[in-house]
Every structure is written in structure tokens, then in C-alpha cells.
Amino acid sequence: MAVLRQFQVTFDCAEPGRLARFWCEVLGYESNPPKGFGSWEQYEESLPAAERDAWSACTDPTGVGPRLYFQRVPEGKVVKNRVHLDVRVGTGLLGEERLAALEAECARLLPLGAVRVQLLYDGGDDSCIVMQDIEGNEFCVD
């Protein structure tokens, strides 16, 4: 019998709080402060200055999607991600209808700081828009 395990997706980054807020906006997730604190600001103020903004996390309010965890690391991003998120907005759509849904989502994400990299359009259901988040991590609007 297979065991179903929960998992989280972890991002190495420079500014965990800022990147968590970006992904909350993209996915409709919530960033709840650690237990015992009314806000992230209260939590951060309780820490020594060197330990502030060391990590952040956000969760799917429906409980369906994985937890996203953001941890500060000293090195910057150097190469293409080996794993990335696909923001699924065009599921079940084809052709121009799919392209319109992808373009609309791309337009919503640009003001949040996302960067459009490339449209991969095949006219069918495999089209996507490659984008980058505010720290340069690739993701696809699919």
C-alpha cells in the first residue's frame, strides 16, 4: 500500500519575506506568522538583527497545495532552476483561448515584479509562458 506524504517546496533566496509575499500574490496563498506571534513583523522584531528575514513560509488556504518555504542563503542564483513551478491557468483550453488565458495571467503578474522571458506557443495545449519571479527563479504560466 502506497503512503501519501505531504511535501513542501523550498526556495533558496536572498530575501525570504519579499519572495514569500510575491508567491502569495501569484498563487493566492497566505503567509501566516509563526505560532505565538500576531504578525511577521512581531516575529522579526523578537529576533536579533542578524537572524531577521532568515526564512518565511506560505500555505494554500484550501489545504490542497504544498507549503512553500523560503530560506535565506548567502549565494545568489547562478544557473537555470532544475525544478520550477507551473502556474496552471490554461488547463483544458486550446489554441487562441489558451493563449488568451496565459497572456492575461502574465499581464497580472508583471506588476508584481515578474519578468516575461519567452512564449512557447504550439497552437495546442502545450503552450506556456516562461517567466521569472522577483529573484530570477524561472516558472511557467501554463
How does DSSP assign 23-61, residue by residue?
HHHHHT-B-PPPTT-SSHHHHHHTS-GGGTTSEEEEB-T
Q: Can you give the pTM of this predicted structure?
A: 0.90
Query: What does DSSP assign to residue 99?
Result: H
Both 19 and 67 in a single domain?
A: yes
Domain membership flag for residue 39: yes
Both 55 and 25 in a single domain?
A: yes
Q: Per-residue pLDDT tens for 38-97? A: 999 999 999 999 999 999 999 999 999 999 999 999 998 888 888 899 999 999 999 899
Pick the last residue of a domain from 42, 72, 102.
72
Domain membership flag for residue 35: yes
Domain extent, residue 34, equals 8-72
Both 15 and 66 in a single domain?
A: yes
| Contact (CB, 8 A) for 142 and 85 | no
Total tally of structural domains belonging to the chain: 2
Domain membership flag for residue 2: no
